[in-house]
Protein backbone atom coordinates (compact mmCIF):
# COMPACT_ATOMS: atom_id res chain seq x y z
CA UNK A 1 0.00 0.00 0.00
CA UNK A 2 1.36 3.43 -0.86
CA UNK A 3 2.21 5.59 2.11
CA UNK A 4 1.94 9.37 2.16
CA UNK A 5 2.85 12.17 4.47
CA UNK A 6 -0.47 13.92 5.15
CA UNK A 7 1.18 16.87 6.84
CA UNK A 8 3.48 17.43 3.88
CA UNK A 9 0.56 17.14 1.41
CA UNK A 10 -1.57 19.66 3.26
CA UNK A 11 1.44 21.99 3.38
CA UNK A 12 1.79 21.73 -0.41
CA UNK A 13 -1.94 22.34 -0.85
CA UNK A 14 -1.82 25.44 1.37
CA UNK A 15 1.17 26.75 -0.56
CA UNK A 16 -0.57 26.19 -3.90
CA UNK A 17 -3.71 27.99 -2.74
CA UNK A 18 -1.72 30.88 -1.34
CA UNK A 19 -0.24 31.37 -4.81
CA UNK A 20 -3.57 31.33 -6.65
CA UNK A 21 -4.86 34.75 -7.62
CA UNK A 22 -8.15 35.61 -5.94
CA UNK A 23 -9.78 37.13 -9.00
CA UNK A 24 -11.46 34.54 -11.29
CA UNK A 25 -10.23 36.40 -14.38
CA UNK A 26 -6.65 36.08 -13.14
CA UNK A 27 -7.18 32.40 -12.45
CA UNK A 28 -8.41 31.88 -15.99
CA UNK A 29 -5.45 33.84 -17.35
CA UNK A 30 -3.05 31.72 -15.26
CA UNK A 31 -4.65 28.51 -16.50
CA UNK A 32 -4.50 29.72 -20.09
CA UNK A 33 -0.80 30.66 -19.72
CA UNK A 34 -0.03 27.23 -18.29
CA UNK A 35 -1.87 25.41 -21.11
CA UNK A 36 -0.14 27.57 -23.74
CA UNK A 37 3.28 26.92 -22.10
CA UNK A 38 2.66 23.17 -22.11
CA UNK A 39 1.61 23.30 -25.77
CA UNK A 40 -1.99 22.15 -25.11
CA UNK A 41 -3.57 25.38 -26.29
CA UNK A 42 -2.98 27.98 -28.97
CA UNK A 43 -3.67 31.44 -27.53
CA UNK A 44 -4.73 32.62 -31.02
CA UNK A 45 -7.48 29.99 -30.94
CA UNK A 46 -8.72 31.33 -27.59
CA UNK A 47 -8.85 34.87 -28.98
CA UNK A 48 -10.70 33.64 -32.08
CA UNK A 49 -13.35 31.83 -29.98
CA UNK A 50 -13.85 34.83 -27.72
CA UNK A 51 -14.33 37.02 -30.80
CA UNK A 52 -16.77 34.58 -32.40
CA UNK A 53 -18.94 34.38 -29.28
CA UNK A 54 -18.77 38.13 -28.59
CA UNK A 55 -19.14 39.46 -32.12
CA UNK A 56 -20.77 36.85 -34.38
CA UNK A 57 -22.81 34.65 -32.08
CA UNK A 58 -25.22 36.53 -29.94
CA UNK A 59 -28.80 36.79 -28.82
CA UNK A 60 -29.84 37.31 -32.45
CA UNK A 61 -29.47 33.56 -33.01
CA UNK A 62 -31.86 32.80 -30.18
CA UNK A 63 -34.18 35.58 -31.35
CA UNK A 64 -34.37 33.98 -34.82
CA UNK A 65 -35.35 30.67 -33.21
CA UNK A 66 -38.07 32.37 -31.14
CA UNK A 67 -39.48 34.25 -34.14
CA UNK A 68 -39.57 31.03 -36.20
CA UNK A 69 -41.42 29.27 -33.39
CA UNK A 70 -43.96 32.10 -33.23
CA UNK A 71 -44.57 31.94 -36.99
CA UNK A 72 -44.36 28.21 -37.66
CA UNK A 73 -46.37 25.93 -35.34
CA UNK A 74 -44.67 22.80 -36.72
CA UNK A 75 -41.24 24.26 -35.91
CA UNK A 76 -42.46 25.24 -32.45
CA UNK A 77 -43.59 21.68 -31.80
CA UNK A 78 -40.18 20.37 -32.92
CA UNK A 79 -38.41 22.95 -30.74
CA UNK A 80 -40.33 21.97 -27.63
CA UNK A 81 -39.93 18.26 -28.35
CA UNK A 82 -36.19 18.34 -29.09
CA UNK A 83 -34.51 21.74 -28.80
CA UNK A 84 -31.11 20.53 -29.96
CA UNK A 85 -32.45 19.06 -33.21
CA UNK A 86 -34.70 22.06 -33.94
CA UNK A 87 -31.88 24.56 -33.39
CA UNK A 88 -29.65 22.47 -35.68
CA UNK A 89 -32.07 23.38 -38.52
CA UNK A 90 -30.40 26.81 -38.41
CA UNK A 91 -26.86 27.17 -39.68
CA UNK A 92 -25.46 28.91 -36.62
CA UNK A 93 -21.75 29.41 -36.01
CA UNK A 94 -20.57 27.93 -32.73
CA UNK A 95 -20.68 24.60 -31.03
CA UNK A 96 -23.75 23.03 -29.47
CA UNK A 97 -21.93 21.09 -26.80
CA UNK A 98 -24.96 20.42 -24.62
CA UNK A 99 -28.59 19.53 -25.03
CA UNK A 100 -30.77 22.58 -25.64
CA UNK A 101 -34.12 22.54 -23.89
CA UNK A 102 -36.72 25.18 -24.79
CA UNK A 103 -39.25 26.02 -22.08
CA UNK A 104 -42.35 27.89 -23.15
CA UNK A 105 -43.84 30.85 -21.33
CA UNK A 106 -47.63 30.71 -21.19
CA UNK A 107 -50.24 33.00 -19.69
CA UNK A 108 -50.20 30.87 -16.53
CA UNK A 109 -46.46 29.98 -16.37
CA UNK A 110 -43.32 32.09 -16.53
CA UNK A 111 -39.93 30.38 -16.86
CA UNK A 112 -36.62 31.62 -15.47
CA UNK A 113 -33.21 30.12 -16.22
CA UNK A 114 -30.19 30.03 -13.94
CA UNK A 115 -27.11 27.91 -13.42
CA UNK A 116 -26.81 27.51 -9.67
CA UNK A 117 -23.46 25.75 -9.92
CA UNK A 118 -21.53 28.03 -12.28
CA UNK A 119 -22.64 29.74 -15.50
CA UNK A 120 -23.97 27.08 -17.92
CA UNK A 121 -25.64 28.93 -20.76
CA UNK A 122 -26.69 28.22 -24.38
CA UNK A 123 -23.72 30.07 -25.91
CA UNK A 124 -24.58 29.20 -29.51
CA UNK A 125 -28.01 30.80 -29.09
CA UNK A 126 -27.35 33.70 -26.74
CA UNK A 127 -23.63 34.47 -27.08
CA UNK A 128 -21.60 35.40 -24.02
CA UNK A 129 -23.58 35.39 -20.75
CA UNK A 130 -24.11 38.70 -18.96
CA UNK A 131 -22.05 39.31 -15.82
CA UNK A 132 -25.10 39.17 -13.55
CA UNK A 133 -25.95 35.66 -14.80
CA UNK A 134 -22.61 34.45 -13.40
CA UNK A 135 -22.90 36.35 -10.11
CA UNK A 136 -23.40 34.41 -6.87
CA UNK A 137 -26.31 36.65 -5.94
CA UNK A 138 -28.37 35.83 -9.06
CA UNK A 139 -27.49 32.13 -8.86
CA UNK A 140 -28.70 31.89 -5.27
CA UNK A 141 -31.65 34.25 -5.33
CA UNK A 142 -33.15 33.09 -8.64
CA UNK A 143 -34.00 29.84 -6.88
CA UNK A 144 -34.81 31.17 -3.42
CA UNK A 145 -36.88 34.22 -4.35
CA UNK A 146 -37.48 34.27 -8.12
CA UNK A 147 -40.35 36.77 -7.96
CA UNK A 148 -38.19 39.29 -6.10
CA UNK A 149 -35.40 38.83 -8.64
CA UNK A 150 -37.87 39.25 -11.51
CA UNK A 151 -39.24 42.43 -9.94
CA UNK A 152 -35.71 43.85 -9.89
CA UNK A 153 -35.62 43.22 -13.63
CA UNK A 154 -38.97 45.07 -13.84
CA UNK A 155 -40.92 41.86 -14.51
CA UNK A 156 -43.90 41.89 -12.18
CA UNK A 157 -46.17 38.91 -12.73
CA UNK A 158 -49.78 38.63 -11.61
CA UNK A 159 -50.07 36.43 -8.48
CA UNK A 160 -51.83 33.68 -10.46
CA UNK A 161 -48.84 33.16 -12.75
CA UNK A 162 -46.54 30.33 -11.64
CA UNK A 163 -42.78 30.84 -11.86
CA UNK A 164 -40.70 27.84 -12.87
CA UNK A 165 -36.95 28.02 -12.35
CA UNK A 166 -34.72 25.84 -14.53
CA UNK A 167 -31.18 25.00 -13.44
CA UNK A 168 -28.91 24.70 -16.47
CA UNK A 169 -26.05 22.23 -16.32
CA UNK A 170 -23.20 21.14 -18.55
CA UNK A 171 -25.60 18.57 -20.03
CA UNK A 172 -28.79 20.61 -20.49
CA UNK A 173 -28.97 24.31 -21.30
CA UNK A 174 -32.41 25.83 -20.87
CA UNK A 175 -33.71 28.60 -23.05
CA UNK A 176 -37.03 30.44 -22.65
CA UNK A 177 -39.50 30.67 -25.51
CA UNK A 178 -41.21 33.94 -24.54
CA UNK A 179 -44.83 34.78 -25.25
CA UNK A 180 -45.48 36.63 -28.49
CA UNK A 181 -46.79 40.09 -27.57
CA UNK A 182 -50.24 41.21 -28.64
CA UNK A 183 -50.35 43.61 -31.56
CA UNK A 184 -47.62 41.83 -33.54
CA UNK A 185 -49.91 39.86 -35.87
CA UNK A 186 -48.76 41.83 -38.93
CA UNK A 187 -45.02 41.48 -38.29
CA UNK A 188 -42.89 39.06 -40.28
CA UNK A 189 -40.26 36.75 -38.82
CA UNK A 190 -37.40 39.27 -39.12
CA UNK A 191 -39.42 42.05 -37.50
CA UNK A 192 -40.49 39.70 -34.70
CA UNK A 193 -36.88 38.57 -34.11
CA UNK A 194 -35.88 42.22 -33.65
CA UNK A 195 -38.23 42.43 -30.63
CA UNK A 196 -36.71 39.45 -28.79
CA UNK A 197 -34.04 40.36 -26.26
CA UNK A 198 -31.42 38.20 -24.56
CA UNK A 199 -33.08 38.71 -21.18
CA UNK A 200 -36.43 37.55 -22.55
CA UNK A 201 -34.77 34.24 -23.46
CA UNK A 202 -33.31 33.90 -19.94
CA UNK A 203 -36.66 34.82 -18.46
CA UNK A 204 -35.69 38.13 -16.86
CA UNK A 205 -37.74 40.18 -19.34
CA UNK A 206 -40.95 39.97 -21.32
CA UNK A 207 -41.02 40.71 -25.04
CA UNK A 208 -42.60 44.07 -25.73
CA UNK A 209 -44.59 44.97 -28.83
CA UNK A 210 -43.17 47.85 -30.93
CA UNK A 211 -43.86 51.16 -29.24
CA UNK A 212 -44.07 49.60 -25.77
CA UNK A 213 -41.43 50.54 -23.21
CA UNK A 214 -38.22 48.52 -23.65
CA UNK A 215 -36.40 46.76 -20.82
CA UNK A 216 -33.72 48.79 -19.03
Binding site for Fe ion (CB under 5 A): 115, 117-118, 120
Active site residue 33: no
- Nearer to Fe ion among residue 13 and residue 170 (C-beta): 170
Check: CB of residue 192 under 8 Å from CB of residue 67. yes
- Nearer to Fe ion among residue 122 and residue 146 (C-beta): 122
- Nearer to Fe ion among residue 68 and residue 173 (C-beta): 173
CA-based diameter of the chain, in Å?
75
What is the closest distance, in whole angstroms, from the C-beta atom of residue 97 to Fe ion in the complex? 12
Catalytic residue among 10, 54, 118, 170: 118
Active site residue 71: no
Active site residue 154: no
Residue 129 CA to residue 148 CA, distance in Å, equals 21
DSSP track, 23-69: SHHHHHHHHHHHHHHTTS--HHHHHHHHHIIIIISSHHHHHHHHHHH
What is the closest distance, in whole angstroms, from the C-beta atom of residue 170 to Fe ion in the complex? 6
Active site residue 120: yes
Residue 167 CA to residue 139 CA, distance in Å, equals 9
- By annotation, the residues acting in catalysis are 115, 118-120
Amino acid sequence: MASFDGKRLSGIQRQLHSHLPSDPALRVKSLESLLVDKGYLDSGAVDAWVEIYSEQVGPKNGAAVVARAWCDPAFKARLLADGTAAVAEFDFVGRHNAKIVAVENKPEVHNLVVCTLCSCYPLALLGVPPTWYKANEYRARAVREPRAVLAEFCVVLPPGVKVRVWDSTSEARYFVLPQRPDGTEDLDEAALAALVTRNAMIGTALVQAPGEEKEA
